Amino acid sequence: MAREGAACYPSSPGQLELGRKLVAELQAIGLADARVDSFGIVLATIPATLPNAKSVIALNSHLDTSPETTAVGVNPQVIRDYPGGDILLPGGAGGVIRTMENPELAALRGQTIITTDGTTLLGADDKAGVAVIMETAAWLVEHPEIPHGPIRICFTCDEEIGHGVDHVDRAQLAAVVGYTLDGQGANEIDVETFSADLVVVRVCGVNIHPSIAKGRMINALRVAGDFLSRLPRATLAPETTAGREGFLHPYALEGGVAEATLRVLLRDFETARLDELAGLLARVAAECERDHPGARIELCRHAQYRNMRAGLLAEPRAVAYAEEALRRLGRTPVRTIVRGGTDGSRLTEIGLPTPNLSVGQHNPHSPLEWACLEEMVAAGEMLIELAQVWAESGQA
């Protein structure tokens, strides 16, 4: 589980431990160059089976899970031959995965559904992606008759807190395109993500003993509460927006009378609109300072990631070949947008066009998270076909 604000990278020791285990498994199946670097990033190469292979594709998933819900003590529930209907989670917290809220379950009768007991994350975001890449690597090594070029594997850390690609060496990957395995459902290709910034709002007040506070105390918590109350609620909030609508999302508040800190996410598919959202925060801060004389509010804005759209338009094969792979398997590819970000957002930004592919995840970041085994298998089949599409293109 990633830890926001940690002074180390990766932010949690479990990511290093998982990385070392994955390296051992990759070496055991025959990937001799598998290694974990000093930043916990796992790198390996599936060797080409074509004698003149040149171009490289990269497959990426991340090792961490979201800090928004604990992933400690996961107790999985495996439902084979899912009969349909709501799924009761057995952890005693009253959790229910309802078909009304998960309409995709209707098409998965008879499949294998994996949940937790409802008290933790499942971690399919992104352990499902890791598992699919690992199984794909094993299958390709076991079947050298399948034609493909070199395939790089890259497992990153701290993606959930916006630092997954901080220490990825683009030149070391040496790939033409990449694919993140970090998507929901099946047969979807995410071709756009949000553009994203974080604004840290620091509210400075004046603390003094309550017995002599009249006319002297400025309670930073009250000022912060006023700040929050002035943010849009009917619009520009994640709970009231969908599709291509952006939002402001205050998600953390800590502090006391003297000082309080808010963290606010800015999200929109159009990068320029992030400036508008930041401007709205600045206006609210000015209003609060006016109405709370003596209070001071500081805004510190941090860039996180950018919409991958432009980078994918510049290298159309990345998406076109993924669509072709799905069609060859008799499936209908669906281009989608994701109201979030992936390592692919940052990889595309630094010059490696990287769309995001489905891997059977559902309800990420929630104790109601679940995954479908057959959708994970379908993702692996798609990767194997995708490697062949690239080989047949004459570019591998």
Helix, strand, or coil (residue 382)? helix
Our answer to whether residue 126 is catalytic in this structure is no
Q: Where are the alpha helices (DSSP H) in the chain?
A: 13-28, 124-142, 170-173, 220-229, 272-291, 309-314, 317-328, 343-349, 373-392
Report d(CA 130, CA 362) in Å as an integer. 15
Report d(CA 178, CA 34) in Å as an integer. 18
DSSP 239: G
Residue indicated by tokens 């993702």: 379
Our answer to whether residue 117 is catalytic in this structure is no
Three-state SS string across 104-158, please?
Answer: HHHHHCCCCEEECCCCCCCCHHHHHHHHHHHHHHHHHHHCCCCCCCCEEEEEECC
**In terms of Cα–Cα distance, which of 269, 341, 261 is closest to 305?**
341
Residue count (the chain):
396
**In terms of Cα–Cα distance, which of 230, 295, 244 is closest to 273?**
244
- As given in the structure block, the two tokens for residue 195 are 């553009």
Query: What single-letter amino acid sits at 266?
Result: L
**In terms of Cα–Cα distance, which of 296, 240, 244 is closest to 267?**
244
Q: Which one of 117, 158, 159, 182 is the catalytic residue?
A: 159
Residues that are catalytic: 64, 159
